[in-house]
Structure 1
């Protein structure tokens, strides 16, 4: 085989572009991935910030629900304790027992009624009170006049239960009421001889539950009562949407209530607002009103759109910041690349010219960003070129 030999003569080195390519400069300096790194880091930060905002919203809704649930339970416990004290008054227990036995005289009844009027006149939140004996005969009553006698009697006969309980709320005019009941026992043998029924003006409860939030992301609270296993109603009239009060709603139609019924205790879920189509995030807690089968549920909910508005604002702000940061990185990288690479490319051009026979070619001595390294390299090249000429 014939061996190929190179043609004798002076080799020619192809010249390069006079102006360095920016992409090559960035690659040379290792800056081509900075923009991608900034974008990845910023995206991760944006996702984490959105998660933290949603977690913060959930904790806020849950904490408010817990506080209002505790306030509601404390209010009910206080009323229950007052009722227990009143039902344990010896004079009341004695007179109710006599009414059950048919031995109550007119004089005793008058004394008892005066005592009832005096006691309950100081309870401003109590609208009406009725004592009935074991035969369901009305013995003593107290009524501040807000509810008519017919309404009071008809409502109190809706449910006859022994023990403390809360019935489904009712409304007369613009005021919401709900009923409490407590047994009265014989002073001799401690057997049930009657009960005390109370109509309670829920204005105090409504102020506790329906307190306007300091901000939209704190949510609005509502208090619902289960009518049975499939339907519920509202205990107090919500000021934000009063039209949903006084109606019965299906549990299966509202996941917020359905989740609370299914799991009990406390929880957090997303569903549809009662009586509307907007999506809400809801923190719920079961309210211990008594040992009844169908408890109350306190729900603190806020619109998904309002909660996510903060995430959208954060995303837009971060996207703007990412764009500005990328531009800044590119500008700074390009500036540094040109300042660092131009002397090196100038030195390369001199080397090419020297290799092509231009023995007068010398590297320019300019102070760059790092003058020591580049200047030393230029001096060394010029010294080498001078030696070649000699």
Structure 2
């Protein structure tokens, strides 16, 4: 009888053991230890969700939230949920509502009917239509793109929903995601919270937050390049970098146009891993993704602008057929506009103490 009872209970114990093993295997500490690298990785993973959509298991990444780059030809602007600064928990809740909607079900069916077509999104109205017009399809195949910034065109095969299709829908219809500085703020806030620091409250005055406003709304890339004492410039050499540092990429107007955050610096292997949220990337990487810089470990004193560095992150237009980025990779973008000062690296003073404590735990 005892043997039979143990036999009946063994599947339960097996399931529990499997879950424990899976949890241990997926623990960021296995790879990154218990320091700040682990904390940043945890914040990064909060921007991913696994869903079954269209009969497929899909690993979805937080979409990019554009900053009015696409409303130049429209009469009125529209806003992304949370202004691109929402936290992942809030955003995933809203994204799940979008993915569970009847309209998304219709979108999935349309992309699974076995027929080639062009999907035409309309961002201002958050709607989409499809065209099976042979001329529309032929033009797209020939590279004659007819879309506009606020009306992207996407050629689909009709062979079923893919992760890139989900991204397109969330970006154009859901209007939910993070912009580059919103993602950096999320990571910095998560780091600060490990020591009980409310980053928004701590930086409220430096950010110029008005009473009742969410501090994250003010944490744009411009703030990371501001002259407040909370922004600490980092010496332009690889050996000076550390996790939590912010990479700033300059725009043609001289202002900083993009930000990313360093997750790890491996001086022995010659690898810097940084994280960012942008849609100027390969289709499957649009949104939150990881990027790398490779350097010669024998020369840790070189500048991030040194041409010997290999920046692996390639840059592409958000939708095939749109105007391509003027830069082929992040390295070109970081080195761009040297007459304006080019790219730079900074860190947030309010977070440095927390990072120092976490470094001792590694």
- Is the structural similarity TM-score above 0.5? no
Larger radius of gyration: 1
TM-score range for the pair, normalised by the shorter chain length: under 0.3
Q: With the length of structure 1 as denominator, give the TM-score of the two structures.
A: 0.25
TM-score scaled by structure 2? 0.26
